Amino acid sequence: MSNLNFDVIGKDTGSKARIGVLSLPHGKVDTPMFMPVGTNATVKGIYHDKIKEIGYNLILANTYHLYLRPGLDVLSSFGGAHAFSSWDGNILTDSGGFQVFSLSGLRKINKEGVTFQSHIDGSRHIFTPEKVVDIESVIGSDIAMCLDVCTPPRIDYKAAKEAMEMTHSWARRSIEERNRLEGEGAFRGNLFGIVQGNFYEDLRKESAEVISSMDFPGIAIGGLSVGEEKSEFSHFLAHTAEYIDSTKPRYVMGIGSPDYILEAVENGIDLFDCVLQTRMARNGAAFTDDGYMVMKKAKYKDDHSPIVEGCRCTCCTKYSRAYVHHLVKCNEMLGGMLLTEHNLTYMYDLMERIKKAIAEDRFTSFKKDYLDRFLRGKCSPDRRQEC
């Protein structure tokens, strides 16, 4: 039985953007929402208490990584990842499929599952749809993604169709295992299905309709933002979302740039995640409405102003651009920590601005005005060579 309830409480008349409330075992999440990535049961460079203080109540962890380290025995001894990591909010776990399939020569796929070698010590393991659900039940995932077949862009039609059909078969097996565990009281989360189909319109439509028809309380769109052009991403996102059950929360995996997120929101997507915010912070870059600020640049050496005037994060309320520049140039870990808090605060507050625009029925104009400014910035995604 699903522990999820999703209520759409507002819509934008000029687009498919919507606001909602997602009720999960560890509390409510207002959507649309960006989710910080905490691969190893930790969001890099920031305390869980600070993440909660910013406002987040849903973060990601990764099944593949937690299965290998610390391992299921350790997680089980703590009663799951929540107690192990002292995080009392919700956890969404990626199935580990993307990580396994990125191992290339270290894995083999067949109808039963995926055999792979650990990137840590070379030991051999197998992930089946059933085993992944079993692992996620030990982790205590509030949202658990089922195992799917990830494919790179521009594979041929036959390979894309075979991967999609295997994803559908694995989805059915995942549901059966979830039902078995629920009967034993061992699974208390919510299993989400994943749409595939590569970059073929008919396969995307078929996969969206098949996954929507299954007993999943939520649905993710996989296989996007994997190296395709932005125009291709936009087209297939809109095309796929059109055929997904609109009564369920919808999740696009692996997007974090504001322009991609706004595109997703415009198409009625409720959840998204990415490592971009924390990774860029560790590399000395800050999110702003004017694009990305690269703090190692000499022009910030004597700058007394905060990264963003009015931002509520520790970085902006206590420190100057000059000090952050100094930390980044000296490779001091505090620089990455401060920028991590800033970037996650910026993203949370941006989502609040987006929700407000939807509630006031002005999302389309908000998106245009925001992107006109963001993409004009010298360090916008389209002009990274200037950063």
Could you state, in order of their start, the residue ranges of all structural domains in the chain? 5-274, 281-386
Confidence of residue 15 (pLDDT cuts 50, 70, 90): very high
Grade residue 384 by pLDDT with cuts at 50, 70 and 90: very low
* CATH tag for 5-274 (out of 3.40.50.2020, 3.10.20.30, 3.40.50.80, 3.20.20.105): 3.20.20.105
Q: Give yes or no for residue 216 having a pLDDT over 90.
A: yes
Tell me, what's the pLDDT at 382? 42
Please check whether residue 204 is in contact with residue 240, taking contact to mean a CB–CB distance below 8 angstroms: yes
Residue 338: exposure state from Cβ atoms within 10 A (0-12, 13-18, ≥19): buried
Helix (H) or strand (E) segment spanning residue 195: strand 190-195
Could you list the active site residues?
Answer: 94, 273
Higher per-residue pLDDT: 151 or 330 = 330
Mean pLDDT of 106-128: 90
Residue of 377, 198, 351 lying closest to 285 (CA atoms): 377
Matching residue, tokens 């990626």: 94
Length of the chain: 387
Q: What is the structure's pLDDT at 24? A: 98
Per residue in 152-191, pLDDT tens?
888 999 999 999 999 999 999 999 999 999 999 999 999 9
pLDDT of residue 138 exceeding 80: yes
Of all residues in the chain, the percent with pLDDT exceeding 70 is: 96
pLDDT at 378: 46
Q: How confident is the model at residue 108 (pLDDT cuts 50, 70, 90)?
A: confident
**What integer pLDDT is reported at residue 379 of this predicted model?**
53
* Interior angle at CA 208, CA 202 and CA 211, nearest 5: 135
pLDDT confidence bin for 104, thresholds 50/70/90? low
Q: Minimal CA–CA distance to 341: which of 307, 304, 303, 387?
A: 307
Q: Which of 151, 102, 132, 57 is nearest to 348 (CA)?
A: 57
Token pair listed for 308: 């963003």
Q: Is 385 a residue whose pLDDT tops 70?
A: no
> Which stretch of DSSP H or E encloses residue 126?
strand 124-127
Tokens of 49: 């208490």
Digit-coded pLDDT (tens) for 343-379: 999 999 999 999 999 999 999 999 999 999 999 974 5
Q: Can you tell me the distance from the alpha carbon of 64 to that of 136, in angstroms, rounded to the nearest whole number?
A: 10
Angle at CA of residue 41, ends 307 and 87, nearest 5° = 80
Per the prediction, the chain carries an average pLDDT of: 95
Identify which has the larger pLDDT, 102 or 287.
287
Tell me if 250 sits within 8 A of 219, measured CB to CB: yes
Question: Residue 46: is its pLDDT beyond 90?
Answer: yes
Task: Please give the share of the chain, as a percent, with pLDDT higher than 90.
Answer: 89
pLDDT at 98: 77
Phi, psi of 35 (to 5 degrees): -110, 125
